[in-house]
Amino acid sequence: MSGPSGDKLIYVDMTDQSVEIRDFPEEWKLLGGRGLSAKILLAECDPTCDALGPDNVLVMAPGVLAGTAAPTSGRLSVGGKSPLTGGIKEANTGGQPGQHLAKLGYRGIVVKGQPADADKRYAIEVNAEGVQVVAADDHKGKWNYALCMDLHGQYPKTASFITCGPAGEMQLTGASVATTDQDNRYPARHAARGGLGAVMGSKGLKYVAVDPGKASVRQAADREKFGELCKEYTKGYLAGPQMFKTGTSSVVPVANMLHTFPYKNRVEGQSPDASTLEGARINESFETRGGQMHNCMTGCIVKCSNIVHDAEGEYKTSALEFETLTLLGANCAVASWEDVADMDRLCDEVGLDTIETGGAIAVLMDAGQMEWGDADAMRKLIAEIPEGTDRGTAIGNGAVATGKFTGHHRVPEARGQAIPAWDPRPLKATGVCYCTSAMGADHTAGLIVNPGLAPDQFAWEAQKVQLLNAVCDTSGFCQFLQPSLDDIRAFFGALYGEEVTREAIHDQGWQCLEDEWEFNRKAGFTAADDKMADCLGQDAVGAEGAKVVFDVPDDIIQAVFKRMPAQEDLFTAKASG
Amino acid sequence: MPTVLIPPPYRGPTQGTGEVEVEGGDVLGSLEDVDRKFPGFLAQVVNEDGAVLPFVKLFKNGDQLDVAEALRTPVGGDDEIEVLAAIAGG
């Protein structure tokens, strides 16, 4: 036996709503998720196209290991040309659709074209009987939670959904793509970064329904070895410190200590409100309000996702993450995690990236057009985005658009994308990732939390972590499981019954980065774009007497684009994002 | 000699150094040894009242130490003390 076989790719042309099922190329068997998306986009999408026009291509692809028994391996990559950055984009999400697509033998959905009538809405239905495009006009304009409530009544209980909120329908460039999670089937997981929700909206695609029915787990070629790997890896993980079992929100105090918990549009690296924003407060609320930690997808052993309840004990949102607490909290001088939870729910409802939205509102506040810390005004602002007000539209289009709207010059961004919590001033090597990743300022493409790293190590560390994360996002493993390249190639090898060498896995990661960089070069990006916003090179953060700016020389940044010989740690380092 | 393993996020004060040999005695003494060589390190692990910060986990030879007893745990020989703190985006 040679492992999973007979896999297919779904091609949908939204111009005439036609569907074509193609055989998945045998030579691509170790390509999934981000790597597959990059391969398809480079070959089939004109990099100079209008990201919101018919020539853009939207890819939704589970990782190689999705649908198998490998722990925490069902991640879904959403890819396309980003309307926010103008470059290639992959945004990664948990939830059930990745697992369900893979169990049905579909390695991806490739959506092309655009309906002639922009007012029409459609859905793609995927199940054991096949694939079809159906009208979805009845769901036009619905917020994500209301949409999913209705879809749960419309489809079998086994179905999961990929949805587009009103921000995506309005083609706002901060729009996310939502996926439903395991326990409560809410649209609480998001492929958030880069405005891919707007691409989905531009194609008139309101949702994708994936019903696996009784589809079974994908079986490996070497079942015994694959089973042993799953058992050993799970046992090892559970015997370890399980650093994420209280949620990513528990990172707040460490980040604050390291001056990477930005305050007031990053004029400071620490917030005076860290103690009221940190995850411990959220976890304390479980006792009196309910709520809990859970896994967002079948087979997850990390369980980093919190379910947050309101004061009445009713479900409010999930998951309230470190990045959201930072960008919609500290960075806007909001002091209460409960206020941030409200805004997280609103962003999930409207279908917005919480990082981009928080970055945009902080620019608005910095421009003097909203009071710092005014959570009521923020709630109203996010809720008005679907109404299409000028101010709401600017916020929905992200931090750079908000800078233009307000005339405010201080916009912390790289490649047009708001900087995540992890700040490139104390964490300069992470800044090198932001400058060199085709994804722009996206910590999931490369995160190096090592403030003591010597500058001569920046280029190698940035290349290493970007390559590792590219392979991780190709595999379907969650970055929080922290697999190494050696771990991933062992699973790949057992899945297909063949050895995957260190050289082969190194090549795969490098090829993914090369494909993405090549797409951006063809889109018109040059070395002049490999830079950080001026304000981060001018405004220092850090302890008194040790304040830092982002001042990494260009030669170090450009060195990342040249493949370096593999060092041992390339294969043993753990993914992080 | 015993060694203290420093996680990447805590290598600011140690200027990138990931392993520091110490005299031993107990865990607190070992951490204080690191701080003498690299001032600023201890404040990342222990608060002003002398308690381990709530987001820090300490391990001895791979075994997680109980928070209440961690700092008084004896250290000697070739023991390895590891400091860990959660880092993730989300």
CATH of the domain at A151: 3.60.9.10
Domain boundary among A194, A210, A226: A210
Contact A241 B54 (CB under 8 A): no
Residue that has been written with the tokens 């007031």 in this structure: A264
pLDDT digits over B27-71, tens only? 999 999 999 999 999 999 999 999 999 889 999 999 999 988 999
pLDDT digits over A365-376, tens only? 999 999 999 999
Residue that has been written with the tokens 């750079």 in this structure: A400
Measured in Å, how far apart are chain A's first and last C-alpha atoms?
35
Domain contains A38: yes
DSSP states of A213-268 as a string?
A: TTPPPPPPSSHHHHHHHHHHHHHHHHHS--TTTT-GGGGHHHHHHTT-S-BTTTTB
Nearest CA distance, A398 vs chain B (angstrom): 19
| Alpha-carbon torsion, ordered B8, B9, B13, B19, to 10 deg | -30
φ, ψ for residue A449, nearest 5 deg? -95, 80
A268 touches chain B (CB under 8 A): no
Contact A319 B90 (CB under 8 A): yes
pLDDT digits over A165-215, tens only? 999 999 999 999 999 999 778 999 999 999 999 999 999 999 999 999 999
Contact A265, A363 (CB under 8 A): yes
Residues of chain B contacting residue A94, judged by C-beta atoms under 8 Å apart: none
Do residue A30 and residue A146 come from a single domain?
Answer: yes
A458 touches chain B (CB under 8 A): no
Contact A363, A399 (CB under 8 A): yes
Contact A253 B87 (CB under 8 A): no
A324 touches chain B (CB under 8 A): yes
| Alpha-carbon torsion, ordered A273, A278, A281, A286, to 10 deg | 150
The minimal CB distance from B11 to the residues A247, A420, A451 is found for: A451
Q: How many domains does chain A have?
A: 3
Contact B11 A480 (CB under 8 A): no
Q: If DSSP codes are grouped into helix, strand and coil, which group holds residue A59?
A: strand
What whole-number distance in Å separates Cα of residue A111 and Cα of residue A58? 5
Residues of chain B contacting residue A454, judged by C-beta atoms under 8 Å apart: 15-16
Instruction: Decide if pLDDT at B14 tops 60.
Output: yes
Contact B14 A243 (CB under 8 A): no
Nearest CA distance, B90 vs chain A (angstrom): 5
Do residue A42 and residue A179 come from a single domain?
Answer: yes
What whole-number distance in Å separates Cα of residue A100 and Cα of residue A359? 34
Residue that has been written with the tokens 């079998």 in this structure: A156
What whole-number distance in Å separates Cα of residue A245 and Cα of residue A292? 11
- For residue A561, the 8-state DSSP code is T
Q: Which of B37, B55, B59 to mutate to test the interface with A (most CBs of A within 10 A)?
A: B55
Domain contains A237: no
Nearest CA distance, B80 vs chain A (angstrom): 16
Domain contains B44: yes
Contact A250 B55 (CB under 8 A): yes
- pLDDT value, residue B90: 65
Do residue A78 and residue A142 come from a single domain?
Answer: yes
Please name the residues in contact with A399: beta carbons below 8 A apart, sequence gap of 6 or more: A356, A359, A360, A362, A363, A411, A412, A413, A417, A418
Q: How many domains does chain B have?
A: 1
E strand or H helix at B90, and its extent? Answer: none
Instruction: Decide if pLDDT at B89 tops 70.
Output: no
- For residue A87, the 8-state DSSP code is S
Domain contains B28: yes
| Window 296-315 of A, Cβ < 8 Å to B | 304
Domain contains A302: yes
Do residue A193 and residue A76 come from a single domain?
Answer: yes
Nearest CA distance, B54 vs chain A (angstrom): 9
Instruction: Decide if pLDDT at A358 tops 90.
Output: yes
- pLDDT value, residue A357: 98
Domain contains A232: no
Domain contains A221: no
Return the structure tokens found at A86. Answer: 């103008």
Residues of chain B contacting residue A248, judged by C-beta atoms under 8 Å apart: 86, 88-90
- pLDDT value, residue B87: 75
Domain contains A64: yes
Do residue A433 and residue A410 come from a single domain?
Answer: no
| Window 244-263 of A, Cβ < 8 Å to B | 244, 246-251, 253-254, 257-258
| Mean per-residue pLDDT of chain A | 97
Contact B87 A324 (CB under 8 A): no
- pLDDT value, residue A24: 98
Query: Whose CA is closest to A558, among A518, A528, A538?
Result: A528
> How many CB pairs below 8 A link A and B?
88
Contact B8 A450 (CB under 8 A): yes
Helix residue ranges, H only, A385-484: 390-396, 399-406, 428-436, 458-475
Q: Band of the pLDDT at A1, cuts 50, 70, 90?
A: low
Residue A306 identity:
N
| Distance of alpha carbon A357 from the chain centroid | 14
Contact A452 B17 (CB under 8 A): yes
**Burial readout A544-554 (b: 16 or more C-beta within 10 A, e: otherwise):** eeeebbbebee
What whole-number distance in Å separates Cα of residue A442 and Cα of residue A418? 9
Residue A225 identity:
K
Domain boundary among A371, A390, A414: A414
pLDDT digits over A71-115, tens only? 999 999 999 999 999 999 999 999 999 999 999 999 999 999 999
Residues of chain B contacting residue A353, judged by C-beta atoms under 8 Å apart: none
pLDDT digits over A510-524, tens only? 999 999 999 999 999
The complex's ipTM works out to: 0.90
What whole-number distance in Å separates Cα of residue A551 and Cα of residue A542? 14
Contact A576 B13 (CB under 8 A): no
Domain contains B90: no
pTM more than 0.90: yes
Nearest CA distance, A248 vs chain B (angstrom): 6
Residues of chain A contacting residue B16, judged by C-beta atoms under 8 Å apart: 450, 452-454, 457
- Percentage of chain A surpassing pLDDT 70? 100
Do residue A262 and residue A315 come from a single domain?
Answer: yes
Q: Ramachandran region of residue A53, left (φ > 0), alpha (ψ -120 to 50) or beta?
A: beta
pLDDT digits over A210-242, tens only? 999 999 999 999 999 999 999 999 999 999 888
Contact B89 A577 (CB under 8 A): yes
Nearest CA distance, B62 vs chain A (angstrom): 9
Residue that has been written with the tokens 């929100």 in this structure: A249
A480 touches chain B (CB under 8 A): yes
Q: Work out whether the CA dihedral A558, A564, A567, A570 comes out positive or negative.
A: positive
Instruction: Decide if pLDDT at A447 tops 80.
Output: yes
- pLDDT value, residue A243: 82
Q: Give the domain CATH number at A289.
A: 1.10.569.10
- Show the domain range for A331: 243-414
Do residue A21 and residue A133 come from a single domain?
Answer: yes
Do residue A442 and residue A380 come from a single domain?
Answer: no
Residues of chain A contacting residue B9, judged by C-beta atoms under 8 Å apart: 254, 258, 449-451
Contact A103, A67 (CB under 8 A): yes
Residue that has been written with the tokens 């690191």 in this structure: B34
Domain contains A29: yes
- pLDDT value, residue A576: 82
Do residue A91 and residue A159 come from a single domain?
Answer: yes
The minimal CB distance from B64 to the residues A241, A251, A319 is found for: A241
The minimal CB distance from B86 to the residues A250, A450, A457 is found for: A250
Do residue A385 and residue A467 come from a single domain?
Answer: no
pLDDT digits over A397-439, tens only? 999 999 999 999 999 999 999 999 999 999 999 999 999 999 9
The minimal CB distance from A254 to the residues B11, B15, B85 is found for: B85
Contact A250 B13 (CB under 8 A): no
Do residue A158 and residue A20 come from a single domain?
Answer: yes
What whole-number distance in Å separates Cα of residue A362 and Cα of residue A412? 10
3-state secondary structure A321-335: CHHHHHHHHHHHCCC
φ, ψ for residue A555, nearest 5 deg? -65, -35
Q: Give the domain CATH number at B79.
A: 3.10.20.30
Domain contains B73: yes
**Burial readout A329-349 (b: 16 or more C-beta within 10 A, e: otherwise):** bbbbbbbebbbbbbbbbbbbb
- Show the domain range for B51: 3-85
Nearest CA distance, A331 vs chain B (angstrom): 15
DSSP states of B12-52 as a string?
A: TTTTT--EEE---EEHHHHHHHHHHHSTTSGGGTB-TTSPB
Strands A413-414 and A58-62, bridge-based pairing: unpaired
Q: If you measure CA to CA, which chain B residue comes closest to A255? A: B87
Nearest CA distance, A324 vs chain B (angstrom): 8
Contact A254 B9 (CB under 8 A): yes
The minimal CB distance from A576 to the residues B12, B53, B87 is found for: B87
Do residue A74 and residue A160 come from a single domain?
Answer: yes
Q: If DSSP codes are grouped into helix, strand and coil, which group holds residue A138?
A: helix
φ, ψ for residue A529, nearest 5 deg? -90, -10
- pLDDT value, residue B86: 73
Residue that has been written with the tokens 């004060």 in this structure: B13
A549 touches chain B (CB under 8 A): no
